[in-house]
Amino acid sequence: MGAMAVLFLIVFIDLVGFGVVIPLLPFYGLHFGAGPAEVTWMMACYSAAQFFSSPLLGRLSDRVGRRPVLLVSLAASVASYLWLGFADALWMLFAARLLAGAGAGNIAAAQAYITDVTTPETRAKGMGLIGAAFGLGFTIGPALGGLVAGSDPTAAALARPAFLAAGLSALACVIALMRLKESLPGASREAAARPSRWRVAKDVAARPVLRRLLLLLFLTVTAFAGMETTFALWANSAYGWGPREVGYNFLFVGLVLVAVQGGLIGRLSQRFGEARLVLAGAGMIALGLALLPVALTLWRLLLVNLLLALGMGLLNPSITSLISQQADIDERGGILGVSQSASSLSRILGPAAAGPLFALWGRDAPYYVGAGAMALVVALAARLPRARRAAQGDLQPS
């Protein structure tokens, strides 16, 4: 089994574990007396911890290697799920989710691993495989968690998915320990031992193309996260849908994402280049968000979901590939960590803005605002340079 296949399996198993606990968290919080606001904060604290840990773990992977960081973070995931399963107070739920979010900073190390074992020409395909592992994990995990928990609202039933998630993360950790080889050469680790993470942040701020790419990623994830967190409310208002129908909707989106990122993105990036795929993906997301308020028949909604899923499937791995090409091998983990922090911050701010927009201005307001943000992304993406410098993987203006 090649390194890419092993990493795909590790990320997939770990993300199935993450998805398993998603359906139980709100009910777990309510069981311990949390109100709606506290349940929302409990969900958001995961992204908050990931925001701080991503650049730290990414930079640490540049210094000590990708494999040790992945192993330690997977062990942290096991501990967080066990803590969640044994929780008997609300504060323990928050603590467990903070620990899980801190361990989830390993995504930057996983992405850096991909950059170590791919060329600039094949990197989008590699990032797409990681995206496909994410999509499969999020597709299978919640369904499995709901099946394990059942309809019994007792704490014992709610704990079962947490223990299952701990077992899955432990399995991923064992596979990483036994089969995953280090991808970062020793010389690169020695070079990375000198600059600090603050130097990495300053370097990011000093690179115009990299700044633009991170801004594009931030705006896109903010708009998409706002849609994800309010869609169930919108669908209930527009269609009278409940959890099952909303779940089927996201299953459709997840399957399209997996198909694009797992199968199509490599060939498309080689034919058109990542910059053009970012532009096309941003346009599809903008159009999908703009059309969502008028998608009042099922076929229109399916078309909108297809646009959103295709757009995100094209944009996300392509923009991550472009970000990685802005970094030398000894700084990729740190820069991809900054990228993950931008995504985590978006997943906090997107829902935080979409909720009040929905409440104050109506059910369609988050999508019109999101479409406006994506129109800005389209304008900025149209100015991305097309050519790449093979020696260092940096983008150069066309």
What is the residue-level pLDDT of the chain in tens, covering all 398 positions?
Answer: 567 778 888 888 877 877 777 667 767 777 888 765 676 677 778 878 887 887 778 778 878 888 898 899 999 999 999 999 898 888 998 999 899 888 876 777 787 788 788 777 777 777 777 777 777 777 777 777 777 876 665 555 778 888 998 998 899 899 989 988 887 766 554 444 445 555 555 666 667 788 889 899 999 999 988 887 778 778 878 888 765 677 677 778 878 888 888 778 888 888 888 889 999 999 999 999 999 999 988 899 999 999 999 999 899 888 888 888 877 666 666 777 777 778 878 878 887 788 788 878 888 999 999 999 999 999 999 988 764 433 334 444 33
The three-state secondary structure class of 284 is helix
What confidence score (pLDDT) does residue 186 get? 63
CA distance 282 to 304: 14
The domain that holds 76 is classified in CATH as 1.20.1250.20
369: left (phi over 0), alpha (psi -120 to 50) or beta: alpha
Instruction: Look up the domain containing 169 and give its range.
Output: 3-396
Judging by beta carbons within 10 Å of its beta carbon (0-12, 13-18, 19+), is residue 201 exposed, middle or buried?
middle
Tell me how far the alpha carbon of residue 88 is from its chain's centroid: 29
What confidence score (pLDDT) does residue 199 get? 59
Q: Considering all CA atoms of the chain, what is the largest pairwise distance in Å, rounded to the nearest integer?
A: 61
Please identify which residue in the block is written with the tokens 């299953």: 251
Backbone dihedral angles phi then psi of residue 32, each to the nearest 5 degrees:
-95, 20
From first CA to last CA, the distance across the chain in angstroms is 39
Give bridge partners of residue 388 from the DSSP assignment: 395
What confidence score (pLDDT) does residue 194 get? 47
Tell me how far the alpha carbon of residue 231 is from its chain's centroid: 18
* Overall size of the chain counted in residues: 398
Radius of gyration of the chain (CA): 20
What confidence score (pLDDT) does residue 105 get? 65
The count of structural domains within the chain is: 1
Which tokens belong to 91?
């504060």
What confidence score (pLDDT) does residue 239 get? 86
The beta strand positions in the chain, using DSSP E, are: 387-388, 395-396
What confidence score (pLDDT) does residue 314 get? 92
What confidence score (pLDDT) does residue 147 get? 76
